[in-house]
Structure 1
Amino acid sequence: MPISAANLEAAIRAAIPVAHLEIEDTSNGCGENYAVFVVSEAFEGKSTLARHRFINEVLKEQIAQMHAFSQKTLTPAQYQAHLAKQAA
């Protein structure tokens, strides 16, 4: 059964406070490949690996049903720097 973006969003928002969230179905709508971009204060002081492991654990059941999953995780300060870099 395909995973929905709403299902992923609900699971992430239930686990951590989210400042910004983007979920992209990269499988042309079939729900088998997703890319997520999560910004949360919960990531403060954690390495990228620790952040990714956390999201993988939160979405363990959903990821098991997918073909591919990618993620980008930032703190709010890193996200502001990211936005400033894009604007420049």
Structure 2
Amino acid sequence: MVYTEAYIKEKLAKELDAVHVEVTDESDGCGAKFSAVIVSDKFQGKPLLARHRLVNSVLQEELKTIHAFTQKTLTVEQWKQQ
């Protein structure tokens, strides 16, 4: 299955109660490489590795066919400070 920016964005927003999600398909539309910025209070108190593991668990099935996925994970407070 080929995944879209909209599909990934909707799933992350829903599963992580995210207040902001940006997803970019960096593979010219083939759905093999994505980057994401995710802002959620579910990241509060978690180190970077734990945040990434949380995101990866949400996209567990999708990551079987996505070849590259980069992510920036922020709490709401961190997002406001930018």
What letter corresponds to residue 58 of structure 2 in structure 1? Answer: V
Report the equivalent of 1:47.
47
2:79 — aligned with what? 79
Higher helix share: 1
The normalised TM-score by structure 2 is: 0.92
For 1:57 and 1:51, the matched residues in 2 are separated by 10
TM-score by length of 1: 0.86
Count of aligned positions: 82
Please say which structure displays the higher CA radius of gyration: 1
2:33 corresponds to 1:28: no
Partner Cα separation in structure 2 for residue 69 and residue 55 of structure 1:
10
> 1:40 Cα deviation (Å)?
0.5
Residue 15 of structure 1 deviates from its aligned partner by 1.2
- Counterpart of 2:46, as a letter, is K
> What is the aligned partner in structure 1 of residue 17 from structure 2?
17
Per-residue CA distance 1:4-24 (angstroms, 9 max, x = gap): 122212221221211111000
Distance 2:8 2:51 in 1: 16
Equivalent in the alignment of 1:86? none
Distance 2:56 2:16 in 1: 13
Aligned amino acid, residue 76 of structure 1:
V
Amino acid aligned to 2:77: A
Instruction: Name the % identity.
Output: 39
Cα RMSD of the aligned pairs, angstroms, is 1.0
Task: Give secondary structure in 1 for the equivalent of 2:37.
Answer: strand
Superposed structure 1 runs of 4+ greater than 4 Å apart: none
